[in-house]
Amino acid sequence: MLFEGAVTLSGTPAPDGAMVTAKVGEEVRGTAMVSNGRYDGLTVNGASGETISFYLNNLVSSQTATIEDGKRGLPQVMDLAFTGTLAALTTTTAISGTETQTITTPIPEFAVAWLVMPAILGLALLLLRRTGR
């Protein structure tokens, strides 16, 4: 099934870059990034009758959906509402032989600034050097 819609966090549009994740049980079945308070292109695969839960980074919505054969491939508008404090996520992918494992771990929001700021500063310095300023 294909989902799209608005995403709110405590009544306001969810921040750009937050991830909407669809799960059946504990298994991730699809993800989509939030942009301008919306998500789209969230494709969820599964068997008819399975229940889909929706997450925004570390938060779970009380809203669920059921996979229906007659709605496969047709965009379903589902506005999602979340409440709580959004934790940033870091993703690590490990490859061992033929097996790939992705681990997503919440990290405190303040830590993201400390991870991103050096990269932005380095890029700014590189651009200044190239322009001769």
84: alpha, beta or left? (left if phi > 0; alpha if psi -120 to 50): left
Instruction: Give the residue-averaged pLDDT of 50-67.
Output: 93
Q: Which CATH code for domain 2-131?
A: 2.60.40
Q: How confident is the model at residue 109 (pLDDT cuts 50, 70, 90)?
A: very low
Give the tens place of pLDDT for each residue, 36-49: 999 999 999 889 99
C-alpha span between 120 and 114 (Å, rounded)? 11
Q: Which residue has the tokens 């980074």?
A: 57
Among the listed residues 96, 91, 93, 119, the one whose alpha carbon sits nearest the alpha carbon of residue 17: 91
Q: How confident is the model at residue 116 (pLDDT cuts 50, 70, 90)?
A: low
What sign for the dihedral angle of Cα 35, 81, 28, 90?
positive
C-alpha span between 82 and 13 (Å, rounded)? 10
Q: Are 16 and 34 in contact (CB under 8 A)?
A: yes
C-alpha span between 76 and 72 (Å, rounded)? 9
pTM greater than 0.85 (yes/no) = no
Q: What angle do CA 91, 39, 80 make, to 5 degrees?
A: 100
C-alpha span between 67 and 48 (Å, rounded)? 5
Q: How confident is the model at residue 106 (pLDDT cuts 50, 70, 90)?
A: very low
List the domain boundaries for the chain: 2-131
